Structure 1
Amino acid sequence: DFAQVEYAYPIPRQELVKVTPKYLAGLNQEELDQLYARLGSGPIPNGAFDGEIVFPRGSSGKLRAAEIIGGLKGLGVNFKGKMLETAGETLWKGKVFYRDQKVLRNRIQDLAALRPVIGPGDIPKIDVDGKDAWLLFPAKLYCGQSLIDSRRESIIIDYAFTDELHGYRENPDFLAGRRGLKVRDEIRMVRPGLYLGRAYMDHAFILNFVLYSKDLDHAGRAEFEIGQIKDDCWSGTQKRVVASR
């Protein structure tokens, strides 16, 4: 029961400040679920975030990765012998949020695996820390109900109708949409600059991921420690418990 866990074991902000992607990778799925349920949405992010897929402790991720890669192969994507565990890292390096437009795009660093389904024309590109990344798979951003914890809203990253967005390109953007893998992500804030996410395909949970911006982490640290960072999304009728030390 998430409500009981949150009431009995509130997380001090000082502890959330210490959380790292490496720490999250050391948790099992139940621990990740319980942590996620005790988080608020935080502000809808803005700007570029590095991304990392988190397979929980005790799981290599092979089964879930196999579902994803199998789905992509079925849509014409060939990973040419890459290990299942590294295929996600090949395709995805993070996300870029456009807060005012309520739009997101994914950072792809290696287009080779997607080459069979990429159509003609230029692909938007961004430089992040001196590295080029192509912007593909747009999504709509909004506040909505979490698929794991309905007590409060999460930030939803929705690919279902992204063909309505400016800059959508049928190939390969359709892969994430309603005619492809039917992807829907949701995220909540651990602290400014660090978000824990959950990815779903056709409403089935697939994997956890982490989004991190070093600049936003440092810029928001002081306000976070004194409780001045507000949620953009509905925080529910049950008051969120945050312990202090």
Structure 2
Amino acid sequence: MSHATDIGADRLLGMSRPELDRLFRVSPPGEIPQGKGLGTVLLGLSPKTNAVAAVLARRLTWQGKVFEPDGRELRNLVTPFGIRAVRARVYRDSSWSDDGACIVLDYTHTSFVAHWIRDEIRSVGQGVYLGNVYWGRRKVLDFILTFGDEPT
């Protein structure tokens, strides 16, 4: 699949939060991913701060997400050991950011610890998804999911 944007994960680490928001708004939802996506937290601050935060988050708390082959559920890879936990339903719906199509990762009915969390992802490049994290209806964080050979 070719993208008008086709941005790699390394470039996303250098973007500000407004730049990430604009990119999310113009990106298509893409196909629902399958398999393991390497996760990278994006703070939308300086490139150096983003890189340090991404490494710390990956080593200590969150390594990514594993999508089931049927595309209807996922589990997060958490703790330094990459334990598969914190399940979410996966489906297409309208984004809370702009009402456009996105892929929703919904924890409402699947997780006691994250029932107030909703993630939305859109494809920004080959095997690269940009995500928004909502706590209730408030956007609190951005992240990247990278599938395949794309380095982070």
TM, length-normalised to structure 2: 0.84
Pair 23,202 (structure 1): closer, same or farther in 2 beyond 3 Å: same
Structure 2 equivalent of residue 158 of structure 1: 106
Of the candidates 43, 50, 59, which is equivalent to residue 55 of structure 1? 43
Does structure 1 residue 46 correspond to structure 2 residue 37? Answer: no
Pair 103,15 (structure 1): closer, same or farther in 2 beyond 3 Å: closer
Query: How far does residue 99 in structure 1 lie from its aligned partner after superposition?
Result: 4.2
Structure 2 equivalent of residue 210 of structure 1: 144
Q: 1:151-193 deviations in whole A, cap 9, x for unaligned?
A: x21000000001xxxxxxxxxx42111xxxx110000001231
Does structure 1 residue 133 correspond to structure 2 residue 71? Answer: no
Structure 2 equivalent of residue 35 of structure 1: 23
Query: How far does residue 206 in structure 1 lie from its aligned partner after superposition?
Result: 0.6
Structure 2 equivalent of residue 175 of structure 1: 113
Residue 131 of structure 2 aligns with an amino acid whose one-letter code is: G
Structure 2 equivalent of residue 80 of structure 1: none
- Return structure 1 stretches of 4+ with deviation > 4 angstroms: 58-61, 84-87
Pair 101,43 (structure 1): closer, same or farther in 2 beyond 3 Å: closer
Q: 1:41-70 deviations in whole A, cap 9, x for unaligned?
A: 000000001000011135958xxxxxxxxx
Q: How does 1:8-87 map to 2 (within 5 A)?
A: 13=3, 15-16=5-6, 19-58=7-46
Does structure 1 residue 146 correspond to structure 2 residue 134? Answer: no
Pair 48,24 (structure 1): closer, same or farther in 2 beyond 3 Å: same
Question: Rg larger in 1 or in 2?
Answer: 1
Instruction: Return 5+ residue gaps in structure 2 as ranges.
Output: none
Q: 1:105-127 deviations in whole A, cap 9, x for unaligned?
A: 001242xxxxxxxxxxxxxxxxx
Cα distance between partner residues in 1 of 2:45 and 2:124:
19
Structure 2 equivalent of residue 240 of structure 1: none
Query: How far does residue 37 in structure 1 lie from its aligned partner after superposition?
Result: 0.6
Cα distance between partner residues in 2 of 1:211 and 1:85:
12
Q: Percent identity?
A: 31
Cα distance between partner residues in 1 of 2:119 and 2:5:
25
Q: Report the structure, 1 or 2, having the larger strand content.
A: 2
> SS in structure 2 opposite 1:44?
coil
